Amino acid sequence: MKRFLALLTGLSVAFGAVGCATSESAPPPQKLPRLELGSSEYLQQAVIYEVNVRQFSQEGSFDKVTEALPRLSKLGVDILWLMPIQPISVLNRKGSLGSPYSVANYTAVSEEFGTDEDLRELISAAHEANMMVILDWVANHTGWDNPWIAEHPEWYTQNDEGEIVHPPGTDWTDVADLNYSNWEMRMAMIDAMRYWVEEFDVDGFRADVAHSVPVDFWELASEKLHEVKDVFMLAEDGGNLALLKSAFDTNYAWPLKDLFNSLGRNSADAGDFRRNLKSTATQYKEGKYQMVFITNHDENSWSGTVFERLEDNVKNLAVISFTVPGMPLIYSGQEIGLDRRLEFFEKDPIVWPDQVSEWTEFYSKLVRLRTENPALWTAGAGGELKAVHLDNSDVIGFSRSYAGNDVIVLANLDSEPQSQELQLGNLVGDYTDFFSQESVALAEGEVIELAGNSFLVLVRSSDVADAE
């Protein structure tokens, strides 16, 4: 015990190296054997990457995303979620370029991003790299230039004067609200979705404001899409679990995202975290799960960068987002530590560094940790999350175990060092510190020393521990 405590004391002094590991302290990410796109095994290990096509490069084109595929493949992502790629309405648009969520034509490609052939080449190259491609789908409303408005005004919500209105209760004045009591409109919407699956071989959809569209529409749409291919469906919703009954594979971990923001600012604690995950475990069963994230296009543009919202706990909460049950998301620029709110209605391209960023190394290792350790898988696999202590509100500590694989995660959210005694039970034994690759022996009642705003990930797995 004394020898081990001396080791941990040494680790806590240099904990910056543990939390911000460099390529010298951990092996590079390695891809698992190629899995069939969209298979249950594929989705159990998958990581989503949201592509903000407009801001992804100075050109903001499909071609530049295609050029980045080797980098994204090396990062280890599996599912590319493309923000809306259709033309944007000019009428009533906000800003000089408008919102990508103001769709002028459901079955056309925006000239801002390229041609139909450019998109096909991107999807084909992604498939060759064993990545799925899903499109952002805006079913709740259209832009004011959409031909449906002139051809089928009855497809839209109207006020008492017969005027088409924007979505009630919002300030989305650049879009027109669709009327889902109209069956003809519903079928036209489904036909438009099928077009992208049949003609471009897309692998599914992320449904914008899915909760504002009737569940029975999504159920029929999913049924019709699955007649074409086995699509992956992601709902932007965190409350209506009926959406997961048959229409969608996963939804948003909105409550956990809000909790992350509070944990980052120390306005919530480990007890709040445990209660959130306990509630989630009772709600998400039978292979259903959440998409877990610390940022996305909405959070970055409207609520603030991860550094604004999570402060000194960005890496802590990124680690947690990759190790709790669910499918993790990386947003464009997150993997280089982007510290800027991207403009939503204007051109504001990400500037990618010439050299590999420490953040890229960090996220590459997180992807590898998740994909290579079955204890962290999802969609019916993976291990149950269990607390390894209950007596410290500043330290989040949990384990996940599955098929002989064990992972222990500890994160000190406070700026001051913390000592934490662990309740291990059958988790005692020999581990590897995933980020430093140091060997660690854990005994019952072990005391861990954690530096301020630091984390520790211990693994016991034949696949992950063999690091060299």
CB proximity list for 134: less than 8 A, separation 6 or greater: 79, 80, 81, 82, 202, 203, 204, 205, 206, 232, 234
Structure tokens of 370?
């998740």
Q: Residue 121 falls within a domain, yes or no?
A: yes
Q: Do 318 and 223 have their domain in common? A: yes
CB proximity list for 26: less than 8 A, separation 6 or greater: 365, 434, 435, 436, 437, 467
Q: What pLDDT shows up at residue 286?
A: 77
State which residues form the domain around 100.
Answer: 28-382
Q: How many Cβ atoms are within 10 Å of 148's Cβ, its own excluded? A: 21
φ, ψ of residue 206 in degrees (nearest 5): -105, 120
Q: Residue 252 falls within a domain, yes or no?
A: yes
Q: What pLDDT shows up at residue 7?
A: 34
Domain of residue 346, CATH code: 3.20.20.80
Q: Residue 20 falls within a domain, yes or no?
A: no
Q: Do 201 and 293 have their domain in common? A: yes
The tens digit of pLDDT for each residue in 193-230 reads 999 999 999 999 999 999 999 999 999 999 999 999 99
Q: Do 137 and 250 have their domain in common? A: yes
Q: What pLDDT shows up at residue 87?
A: 98
Q: Do 267 and 154 have their domain in common? A: yes
Nearest 5°: CA angle at 383, between 313 and 451?
A: 25
Q: Do 253 and 362 have their domain in common? A: yes
Q: What pLDDT shows up at residue 32?
A: 53
Using DSSP's 3-state secondary structure scheme, residue 105 falls into coil
Amino acid, single-letter form, for residue 121: E
Q: Do 226 and 121 have their domain in common? A: yes
Q: Which of 355, 382, 409 is the last residue of a domain?
A: 382
Among 329, 331, 294, CA closest to 53: 331
Q: Do 223 and 286 have their domain in common? A: yes
Q: Residue 94 falls within a domain, yes or no?
A: yes
Q: Do 357 and 300 have their domain in common? A: yes
Structure tokens of 441?
């022996």
Using DSSP's 3-state secondary structure scheme, residue 212 falls into helix
| pTM to 2 decimal places | 0.92
Write out the H or E segment, with its range, that includes residue 7. helix 2-13
- Residue showing tokens 């039978």: 286
Q: What pLDDT shows up at residue 337?
A: 98
Q: Which of 316, 347, 382 is the last residue of a domain?
A: 382
Q: Do 248 and 157 have their domain in common? A: yes
Q: Do 104 and 226 have their domain in common? A: yes
Q: Do 269 and 222 have their domain in common? A: yes
Show the low-confidence residues of the chain (pLDDT under 50).
1-31, 463-468
Q: Residue 80 falls within a domain, yes or no?
A: yes
Q: What pLDDT shows up at residue 267?
A: 95
Q: Which of 382, 400, 420 is the last residue of a domain?
A: 382
Q: What pLDDT shows up at residue 425?
A: 94
Q: Residue 14 falls within a domain, yes or no?
A: no
Q: Residue 341 falls within a domain, yes or no?
A: yes
Q: Do 360 and 331 have their domain in common? A: yes
Beta-sheet strands, E only, within 5-140: 48-51, 79-82, 132-137
The tens digit of pLDDT for each residue in 35-55 reads 899 899 999 999 999 999 999
Domain of residue 443, CATH code: 2.60.40.1180
Q: What pLDDT shows up at residue 370?
A: 95
Q: Residue 36 falls within a domain, yes or no?
A: yes
- Specify the number of domains making up the chain: 2
